[in-house]
Protein backbone atom coordinates (compact mmCIF):
# COMPACT_ATOMS: atom_id res chain seq x y z
CA UNK A 1 0.00 0.00 0.00
CA UNK A 2 1.31 3.43 -0.96
CA UNK A 3 0.69 6.13 1.67
CA UNK A 4 1.20 9.83 1.06
CA UNK A 5 1.86 12.25 3.90
CA UNK A 6 1.21 15.95 3.40
CA UNK A 7 4.22 17.57 5.06
CA UNK A 8 7.84 16.53 5.38
CA UNK A 9 8.73 18.09 8.73
CA UNK A 10 9.69 16.14 11.83
CA UNK A 11 6.21 14.66 12.28
CA UNK A 12 6.12 13.38 8.71
CA UNK A 13 9.61 11.96 9.10
CA UNK A 14 8.72 10.21 12.36
CA UNK A 15 5.54 8.80 10.81
CA UNK A 16 7.61 7.35 7.98
CA UNK A 17 10.31 6.02 10.31
CA UNK A 18 7.75 4.27 12.52
CA UNK A 19 6.93 1.61 9.90
CA UNK A 20 10.30 1.08 8.25
CA UNK A 21 10.05 -2.61 9.22
CA UNK A 22 6.84 -3.05 7.21
CA UNK A 23 7.96 -3.24 3.57
CA UNK A 24 4.39 -3.63 2.36
CA UNK A 25 3.80 0.01 3.37
CA UNK A 26 5.40 2.47 0.96
CA UNK A 27 5.50 5.92 2.56
CA UNK A 28 6.02 9.13 0.59
CA UNK A 29 6.24 12.70 1.92
CA UNK A 30 4.92 15.76 0.10
CA UNK A 31 6.66 19.07 0.77
CA UNK A 32 3.87 21.57 1.40
CA UNK A 33 6.36 24.43 1.19
CA UNK A 34 7.24 23.56 -2.42
CA UNK A 35 3.61 23.15 -3.45
CA UNK A 36 2.18 23.42 -6.94
CA UNK A 37 -1.31 22.35 -7.97
CA UNK A 38 0.01 19.99 -10.65
CA UNK A 39 2.51 18.38 -8.27
CA UNK A 40 -0.10 17.82 -5.59
CA UNK A 41 -2.67 16.44 -8.02
CA UNK A 42 -0.11 13.96 -9.31
CA UNK A 43 0.95 13.06 -5.76
CA UNK A 44 -2.63 12.42 -4.65
CA UNK A 45 -3.34 10.28 -7.70
CA UNK A 46 -0.24 8.16 -7.07
CA UNK A 47 -1.10 6.98 -3.54
CA UNK A 48 -3.72 4.70 -1.96
CA UNK A 49 -4.08 6.67 1.28
CA UNK A 50 -3.38 10.27 2.20
CA UNK A 51 -2.72 11.70 5.65
CA UNK A 52 -1.21 14.90 7.01
CA UNK A 53 1.33 15.93 9.61
CA UNK A 54 -0.38 19.26 10.37
CA UNK A 55 -3.91 20.63 10.25
CA UNK A 56 -2.55 24.03 9.19
CA UNK A 57 -3.01 23.36 5.49
CA UNK A 58 -3.85 26.35 3.26
CA UNK A 59 -7.41 26.52 1.93
CA UNK A 60 -6.32 26.23 -1.71
CA UNK A 61 -4.63 22.90 -0.92
CA UNK A 62 -7.63 21.66 1.07
CA UNK A 63 -9.79 22.37 -2.00
CA UNK A 64 -7.60 20.04 -4.05
CA UNK A 65 -8.23 17.28 -1.49
CA UNK A 66 -12.00 17.36 -2.07
CA UNK A 67 -12.04 15.00 -5.10
CA UNK A 68 -9.76 12.58 -3.21
CA UNK A 69 -11.67 12.73 0.07
CA UNK A 70 -12.23 8.96 0.18
CA UNK A 71 -8.44 8.47 0.40
CA UNK A 72 -7.92 10.98 3.21
CA UNK A 73 -7.45 9.87 6.83
CA UNK A 74 -8.33 11.53 9.16
CA UNK A 75 -11.29 12.66 7.11
CA UNK A 76 -11.79 15.95 5.33
CA UNK A 77 -14.50 16.75 7.89
CA UNK A 78 -12.04 16.25 10.75
CA UNK A 79 -9.41 18.37 9.00
CA UNK A 80 -11.79 21.25 8.37
CA UNK A 81 -13.23 21.05 11.89
CA UNK A 82 -9.90 21.20 13.67
CA UNK A 83 -8.44 23.83 11.38
CA UNK A 84 -10.83 26.34 12.92
CA UNK A 85 -11.02 26.92 16.67
CA UNK A 86 -14.70 27.94 16.56
CA UNK A 87 -15.67 24.77 14.69
CA UNK A 88 -13.46 22.80 17.06
CA UNK A 89 -15.12 24.20 20.17
CA UNK A 90 -18.56 23.47 18.75
CA UNK A 91 -17.49 19.90 17.89
CA UNK A 92 -16.20 19.38 21.42
CA UNK A 93 -19.46 20.65 22.92
CA UNK A 94 -21.48 18.46 20.51
CA UNK A 95 -19.48 15.45 21.69
CA UNK A 96 -20.36 16.19 25.32
CA UNK A 97 -16.94 17.57 26.28
CA UNK A 98 -16.54 20.53 28.62
CA UNK A 99 -14.84 23.64 27.23
CA UNK A 100 -14.31 27.20 28.32
CA UNK A 101 -17.13 29.58 27.45
CA UNK A 102 -16.37 31.26 24.14
CA UNK A 103 -17.70 33.55 21.43
CA UNK A 104 -16.77 34.62 17.91
CA UNK A 105 -14.99 37.94 17.39
CA UNK A 106 -14.90 39.83 14.11
CA UNK A 107 -14.40 43.42 15.22
CA UNK A 108 -13.19 45.61 18.07
CA UNK A 109 -16.83 45.99 19.14
CA UNK A 110 -17.06 42.20 19.39
CA UNK A 111 -14.06 42.17 21.74
CA UNK A 112 -15.77 44.65 24.05
CA UNK A 113 -18.94 42.55 23.93
CA UNK A 114 -16.88 39.44 24.74
CA UNK A 115 -15.44 41.19 27.78
CA UNK A 116 -18.97 41.98 28.98
CA UNK A 117 -20.19 38.44 28.26
CA UNK A 118 -17.24 36.36 29.41
CA UNK A 119 -15.66 38.63 32.01
CA UNK A 120 -11.95 39.20 32.48
CA UNK A 121 -9.41 37.88 31.88
CA UNK A 122 -10.12 36.40 28.46
CA UNK A 123 -7.88 34.77 25.87
CA UNK A 124 -8.20 36.02 22.32
CA UNK A 125 -6.98 33.66 19.58
CA UNK A 126 -6.98 33.53 15.81
CA UNK A 127 -9.43 30.87 14.67
CA UNK A 128 -6.96 29.45 12.16
CA UNK A 129 -3.23 28.77 12.28
CA UNK A 130 -1.32 29.83 15.37
CA UNK A 131 0.64 27.39 17.53
CA UNK A 132 3.21 27.48 20.32
CA UNK A 133 1.57 30.63 21.69
CA UNK A 134 1.44 32.44 18.34
CA UNK A 135 -1.77 34.24 17.38
CA UNK A 136 -2.90 34.69 21.00
CA UNK A 137 -3.47 37.67 23.26
CA UNK A 138 -4.53 37.69 26.92
CA UNK A 139 -6.79 40.56 27.91
CA UNK A 140 -6.71 41.51 31.58
CA UNK A 141 -8.49 44.87 31.39
CA UNK A 142 -10.87 46.70 29.06
CA UNK A 143 -7.93 48.84 27.97
CA UNK A 144 -6.36 45.73 26.38
CA UNK A 145 -9.13 45.46 23.77
CA UNK A 146 -7.75 47.85 21.19
CA UNK A 147 -4.10 46.69 21.45
CA UNK A 148 -5.33 43.09 21.08
CA UNK A 149 -7.29 43.93 17.94
CA UNK A 150 -4.31 45.78 16.50
CA UNK A 151 -1.99 42.87 17.30
CA UNK A 152 -3.97 39.88 15.97
CA UNK A 153 -7.26 41.31 14.67
CA UNK A 154 -8.61 42.23 11.26
CA UNK A 155 -9.51 38.55 10.86
CA UNK A 156 -11.85 36.06 12.54
CA UNK A 157 -10.96 35.46 16.19
CA UNK A 158 -12.32 33.47 19.11
CA UNK A 159 -12.59 34.83 22.64
CA UNK A 160 -12.35 32.26 25.41
CA UNK A 161 -13.10 32.72 29.09
CA UNK A 162 -10.03 32.18 31.22
CA UNK A 163 -9.93 28.73 32.83
CA UNK A 164 -8.49 28.44 36.32
CA UNK A 165 -6.52 25.20 36.19
CA UNK A 166 -3.93 23.38 38.25
CA UNK A 167 -2.03 21.90 35.31
CA UNK A 168 -2.23 20.97 31.65
CA UNK A 169 -2.46 17.37 30.50
CA UNK A 170 -3.09 15.56 27.26
CA UNK A 171 -4.59 12.26 26.22
CA UNK A 172 -3.74 10.67 22.87
CA UNK A 173 -5.59 7.85 21.13
CA UNK A 174 -5.63 6.01 17.82
CA UNK A 175 -8.86 4.78 16.25
CA UNK A 176 -9.10 2.34 13.36
CA UNK A 177 -11.61 2.04 10.54
CA UNK A 178 -13.76 -0.39 12.54
CA UNK A 179 -14.01 1.95 15.52
CA UNK A 180 -11.48 0.17 17.74
CA UNK A 181 -9.66 2.67 19.94
CA UNK A 182 -6.42 2.47 21.93
CA UNK A 183 -5.32 5.15 24.38
CA UNK A 184 -1.88 6.06 25.71
CA UNK A 185 -1.49 7.03 29.37
CA UNK A 186 -2.03 10.71 30.06
CA UNK A 187 0.94 13.04 30.35
CA UNK A 188 1.45 16.21 32.33
CA UNK A 189 2.61 18.96 29.99
CA UNK A 190 4.61 21.98 31.12
CA UNK A 191 4.79 25.07 28.92
CA UNK A 192 6.97 28.17 29.02
CA UNK A 193 6.29 31.27 26.93
CA UNK A 194 3.59 29.39 25.05
CA UNK A 195 5.84 26.47 24.04
CA UNK A 196 5.71 22.93 25.41
CA UNK A 197 8.98 22.35 27.26
CA UNK A 198 8.46 18.86 28.65
CA UNK A 199 5.91 16.10 29.19
CA UNK A 200 5.89 13.61 32.05
CA UNK A 201 4.59 10.07 32.35
CA UNK A 202 3.18 9.25 34.76
CA UNK A 203 1.41 12.50 35.51
CA UNK A 204 1.61 12.74 39.30
CA UNK A 205 -1.45 12.14 41.43
CA UNK A 206 -3.95 11.53 38.65
CA UNK A 207 -7.12 10.10 40.11
CA UNK A 208 -8.94 7.19 38.50
CA UNK A 209 -11.90 9.54 37.93
CA UNK A 210 -9.75 11.99 35.95
CA UNK A 211 -8.23 9.21 33.85
CA UNK A 212 -11.67 7.78 33.15
CA UNK A 213 -12.99 11.21 32.17
CA UNK A 214 -10.08 11.85 29.77
CA UNK A 215 -10.45 8.47 28.08
CA UNK A 216 -14.21 8.89 27.84
CA UNK A 217 -13.79 12.34 26.32
CA UNK A 218 -11.38 11.25 23.62
CA UNK A 219 -13.54 8.26 22.71
CA UNK A 220 -16.64 10.47 22.48
CA UNK A 221 -14.78 12.92 20.27
CA UNK A 222 -13.27 10.29 17.96
CA UNK A 223 -16.54 8.39 17.65
CA UNK A 224 -18.54 11.55 16.95
CA UNK A 225 -16.44 12.19 13.82
CA UNK A 226 -15.87 8.54 12.84
CA UNK A 227 -12.23 9.49 13.19
CA UNK A 228 -9.45 7.26 11.80
CA UNK A 229 -5.86 7.81 12.93
CA UNK A 230 -4.14 9.35 15.94
CA UNK A 231 -5.86 12.23 17.74
CA UNK A 232 -4.77 14.39 20.67
CA UNK A 233 -6.93 16.15 23.23
CA UNK A 234 -5.24 18.83 25.36
CA UNK A 235 -6.96 19.23 28.72
CA UNK A 236 -6.91 21.59 31.67
CA UNK A 237 -7.24 19.90 35.05
CA UNK A 238 -9.53 21.99 37.24
CA UNK A 239 -11.22 21.67 40.61
CA UNK A 240 -14.38 20.58 38.75
CA UNK A 241 -12.80 18.07 36.41
CA UNK A 242 -11.22 18.28 32.98
CA UNK A 243 -11.86 21.08 30.51
CA UNK A 244 -10.78 20.71 26.89
CA UNK A 245 -8.26 23.22 25.61
CA UNK A 246 -7.44 22.22 22.04
CA UNK A 247 -7.51 19.25 19.69
CA UNK A 248 -4.78 18.12 17.29
CA UNK A 249 -6.07 15.77 14.56
CA UNK A 250 -2.66 14.13 14.32
CA UNK A 251 0.32 12.91 16.29
CA UNK A 252 1.37 15.44 18.92
CA UNK A 253 4.49 16.78 20.58
CA UNK A 254 3.33 15.52 23.99
CA UNK A 255 3.22 11.98 22.59
CA UNK A 256 6.80 11.83 21.33
CA UNK A 257 7.70 9.90 24.50
CA UNK A 258 5.86 6.91 23.03
CA UNK A 259 8.65 6.20 20.50
CA UNK A 260 10.89 4.70 23.16
CA UNK A 261 8.44 4.72 26.05
CA UNK A 262 5.46 2.67 24.84
CA UNK A 263 4.95 -0.71 23.21
CA UNK A 264 3.67 1.07 20.12
CA UNK A 265 4.29 4.71 19.29
CA UNK A 266 1.63 7.26 18.37
CA UNK A 267 3.26 7.44 14.92
CA UNK A 268 3.14 3.73 14.17
CA UNK A 269 -0.47 3.37 15.31
CA UNK A 270 -1.47 6.29 13.10
CA UNK A 271 -0.09 4.54 10.03
CA UNK A 272 -1.54 1.18 11.13
CA UNK A 273 -4.96 2.77 11.58
CA UNK A 274 -5.13 4.51 8.21
CA UNK A 275 -3.79 1.46 6.36
CA UNK A 276 -6.40 -0.88 7.82
CA UNK A 277 -4.06 -2.83 10.08
CA UNK A 278 -4.55 -3.89 13.70
CA UNK A 279 -3.53 -1.30 16.27
CA UNK A 280 -0.61 -1.99 18.59
CA UNK A 281 -0.61 -1.96 22.38
CA UNK A 282 -0.07 1.41 24.08
CA UNK A 283 1.32 -0.06 27.31
CA UNK A 284 4.36 1.83 28.67
CA UNK A 285 7.70 0.03 28.46
CA UNK A 286 9.03 1.86 31.55
CA UNK A 287 7.70 2.96 34.90
CA UNK A 288 8.58 6.59 34.21
CA UNK A 289 9.28 8.57 31.03
CA UNK A 290 9.88 12.21 30.16
CA UNK A 291 10.04 14.06 26.85
CA UNK A 292 12.09 17.28 26.79
CA UNK A 293 11.89 19.62 23.82
CA UNK A 294 15.10 21.09 22.44
CA UNK A 295 14.40 24.75 21.77
CA UNK A 296 16.57 27.30 19.91
CA UNK A 297 19.93 25.59 20.57
CA UNK A 298 20.84 21.92 20.11
CA UNK A 299 24.13 22.05 22.00
CA UNK A 300 22.65 21.26 25.45
CA UNK A 301 21.01 18.15 23.97
CA UNK A 302 24.35 16.63 23.00
CA UNK A 303 24.89 15.64 26.64
CA UNK A 304 22.03 13.17 26.24
CA UNK A 305 24.21 11.06 23.92
CA UNK A 306 26.41 10.16 26.90
CA UNK A 307 23.49 9.15 29.14
CA UNK A 308 22.16 5.57 29.03
CA UNK A 309 18.60 6.59 29.96
CA UNK A 310 18.36 9.43 27.41
CA UNK A 311 17.46 9.19 23.73
CA UNK A 312 18.24 12.19 21.55
CA UNK A 313 16.24 13.07 18.43
CA UNK A 314 17.49 15.87 16.18
CA UNK A 315 15.19 17.27 13.49
CA UNK A 316 18.07 18.63 11.41
CA UNK A 317 16.69 22.15 11.46
CA UNK A 318 18.47 25.47 11.33
CA UNK A 319 18.59 27.04 14.78
CA UNK A 320 16.54 30.14 15.48
CA UNK A 321 14.81 31.57 18.56
CA UNK A 322 11.80 29.62 19.89
CA UNK A 323 12.17 26.90 17.24
CA UNK A 324 11.81 23.21 18.12
CA UNK A 325 15.03 21.61 16.96
CA UNK A 326 14.55 18.16 18.46
CA UNK A 327 13.61 16.33 21.62
CA UNK A 328 15.14 14.07 24.23
CA UNK A 329 13.26 11.16 25.78
CA UNK A 330 14.23 9.92 29.24
CA UNK A 331 13.25 6.34 30.12
CA UNK A 332 13.57 5.19 33.71
CA UNK A 333 12.61 2.51 36.21
CA UNK A 334 11.18 5.06 38.64
CA UNK A 335 10.05 8.68 38.86
CA UNK A 336 13.08 9.45 41.02
CA UNK A 337 15.44 8.02 38.40
CA UNK A 338 13.63 9.93 35.65
CA UNK A 339 13.84 13.20 37.54
CA UNK A 340 17.49 12.64 38.37
CA UNK A 341 18.24 12.35 34.65
CA UNK A 342 16.16 15.44 33.94
CA UNK A 343 18.23 17.30 36.51
CA UNK A 344 21.34 16.32 34.56
CA UNK A 345 19.69 17.73 31.41
CA UNK A 346 18.49 20.90 33.12
CA UNK A 347 20.32 23.08 30.57
CA UNK A 348 17.47 22.19 28.20
CA UNK A 349 14.85 23.57 30.57
CA UNK A 350 14.08 27.11 31.75
CA UNK A 351 14.53 27.47 35.51
CA UNK A 352 10.98 28.83 35.66
CA UNK A 353 9.56 25.39 34.87
CA UNK A 354 12.11 22.90 36.24
CA UNK A 355 12.19 21.50 38.81
CA UNK A 356 8.43 21.17 38.74
CA UNK A 357 8.26 21.65 42.50
CA UNK A 358 10.89 22.43 45.08
pLDDT tens, 50-106? 999 999 999 999 999 999 999 999 999 999 999 999 999 999 999 999 999 999 999
Count of structural domains, the chain: 3
Q: What pLDDT, on a 0 to 100 scale, did the predictor assign at position 129? A: 80
On average, the pLDDT of the chain sits at: 96
Q: Which residues, at least 6 apart from 214, have a Cβ–Cβ distance to it below 8 Å?
A: 169, 171, 186, 233, 235, 242
Q: What is the mean pLDDT of residues 281-308?
A: 97
Angle ∠(52,31,63) on CA atoms, nearest 5: 60
What is the per-residue pLDDT for 358? 45
Share of the chain above pLDDT 70, in %: 98
Q: What is the mean pLDDT of residues 333-343?
A: 97
CATH number, domain containing residue 111 = 3.30.1490.20
Residue 275 lies in a domain: yes
Instruction: Please indicate, yes or no, if residue 94 is contained in any of the structural domains.
Output: no
- Find out whether 71 and 46 touch, Cβ atoms under 8 Å: no
Residues 48 and 113 placed together within one structural domain of the fold: no
For residue 310, what are the domain limits?
167-348
Query: Looking at residue 357, what is its pLDDT?
Result: 61
Given the DSSP bridges, would you call strands 195-201 and 187-192 parallel, antiparallel or unpaired? antiparallel
- Considering the domain architecture, whether residues 255 and 344 belong to the same structural domain is answered as yes
User: pTM of this prediction?
Assistant: 0.95
- The domain boundary, picked from 57, 83, 109, lies at 83
Q: Specify whether 217 is located in the same domain as 70.
A: no
CA torsion angle 304 310 316 318 (round to 10):
-50
Amino acid sequence: MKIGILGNGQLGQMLMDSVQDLPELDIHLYDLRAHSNDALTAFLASVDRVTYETENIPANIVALLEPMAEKLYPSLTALKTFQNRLLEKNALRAAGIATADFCAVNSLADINEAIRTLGLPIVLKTTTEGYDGKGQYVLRSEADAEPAWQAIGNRELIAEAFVSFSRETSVIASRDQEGNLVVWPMTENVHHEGILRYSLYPAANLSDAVIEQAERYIRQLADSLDYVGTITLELFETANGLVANEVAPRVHNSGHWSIEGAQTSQFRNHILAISGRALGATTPRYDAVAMLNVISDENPAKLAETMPLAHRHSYGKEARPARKLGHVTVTASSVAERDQTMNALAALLPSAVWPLSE
